[in-house]
Amino acid sequence: MRTIDTLGPLRSRTVIVRCDLNVPLSEGEITDDGRIRASLGTIAELREAGARIVLISHLGRPKGEPDDRYSLRPVAVRMAELLGAPVEFVGETVGSEAEAAVAALADGDVLLLENLRFNPGETSADDAERRAFAERIAALGDAFVSDGFGVVHRRQASVTDLAELLPSAGGRLVADELAVLRRLTDAPERPFSVVLGGSKVSDKLGVISHLIERVDTLVIGGGMLFTFLAAQGHDVASSLLESDQIDTVRDALQRAKERGVRIVLPTDIVVAERFAADAEHETVAADAIAASRFGASGIGLDIGPESARRFAEVIGASATVFWNGPMGVFEMEAFAAGTRTVARALTETDGFTVVGGGDSAAAVRALGFSDDQFGHISTGGGASLEFLEGKSLPGLEVLA
């Protein structure tokens, strides 16, 4: 991958940086600034080089038109605080206002443009529309740095097309993420365990299939566990279930058995009366969910304490651990214990630990853990999973 030093001297040159500043917002307030912090290394490096820096990013999923709920303005405010330097903001990505703001930049200045996805060209499946939008962005700069690892698995205007239109390179964050993922895939120190959670097993089947050939242990939690339990013949009552994936899960279980890969499933489940923070709940055996006092309406919302201890034991005995996806509905305190126990186990093991972005990264911070307690916290959940699945990532291919 081309790196920033391949771009030559950057003083007084305008460098467009594709960041991933897709932070969670609640009533306009940033609830997790991890992705902003992760972007600072590349920005600082470019400032030191005397570049004039234009940051671009998406936030949320606006439908190709301006939507105040997804404005990047709060990000500019927080970034200025973290950077210790002004970060100008313009309420458009392309247009006369953006052009004037870019022209006014001095060496070392930082400008953040408005949400890329306010323009339909950013995510368009039409090559011509996407390229036309990329060309308007490219006209603002002299070089391009791709530093949004969370989007390198997407073929989008600001990810692939822009890299083809300007002298381009990968930023510090992308290089770091790539190094960690190669450490996981090329020659991981063993035992190598992968802990997978999250809601849908269909989102993880590709990576499960690929990892069965490479890991020693797969630990399964989160909403996806109920499809595994159903594949073993258990009644999961009203818990999240993808019935169309049961046969595929059975095949994965059989392949793991044939290859000697241990799959660790929960032995107890926290079952609730309904999906609510204040719902009545009880812990039952994993094969007795439908026999809980809530009967057929019971819904599993977390792994139980016995399962959490077993998962922690696996993590503690591993030399390498990759974790993606919470164990339960961690946003509700009554159903956060499983995720908290897994996170704590990762901080206490002597092995190399990687938190695979997305909800997992949000969970560890929301539960009071700091980034430096883990070997690495990824900024790209989907991109990390696709890399581990063995897929090529177009946003990296274009930087080769």
Q: Which residues are annotated as a binding site for (2R)-3-phosphoglycerate?
A: 35, 117, 154
Q: How many CB atoms lie within 10 A of CB 257?
A: 12
Which of 61, 52, 67 shows the shortest CA–CA distance to 17? 52
**Token representation of residue 373:** 């307690």
Give catalytic status of residue 391 as yes or no: no
Give catalytic status of residue 35 as yes or no: yes
**Token representation of residue 386:** 């696709």
* Catalytically annotated residue among 34, 304, 356, 358: 358
Q: How many CB atoms lie within 10 A of CB 287?
A: 16
Annotated binding site for ATP: which residue ranges? 204, 300, 331, 357-360
- Alpha-carbon dihedral angle through residues 170, 175, 181, 187, given to the nearest 10 degrees: 120
Q: 């990047």: which residue's tokens? A: 72
> Residue 228 carries which side chain, given as an amino acid letter?
F
Q: Would you give the DSSP letter of residue 88?
A: E
Annotated binding site for substrate: which residue ranges? 20-22, 35, 58-61, 117, 154
* Nearest-10 crossing angle of helices 34-48, 73-83: 60
Q: Estimate the share of the chain in helix, then strand, then coil, as percent rounded to the nearest 5.
A: 45, 15, 40
* Catalytically annotated residue among 50, 95, 206, 382: 382
Q: What span, in angstroms and rounded, lies between the C-alpha atoms of 191 and 188?
A: 8
Give catalytic status of residue 358 as yes or no: yes
Annotated binding site: which residue ranges? 20-22, 35, 58-61, 117, 154, 204, 300, 331, 357-360
Give catalytic status of residue 200 as yes or no: yes
* Catalytically annotated residue among 136, 155, 200, 274: 200
Q: Would you give the DSSP letter of residue 117?
A: G
How buried is 390 (Cβ within 10 angstroms: 0-12 exposed, 13-18 middle, 19+ buried)?
middle
Contact 30, 22 (CB under 8 A): no
Q: Would you give the DSSP letter of residue 172?
A: H
Total length of the chain? 400
The catalytic residues are: 35, 200, 358, 382
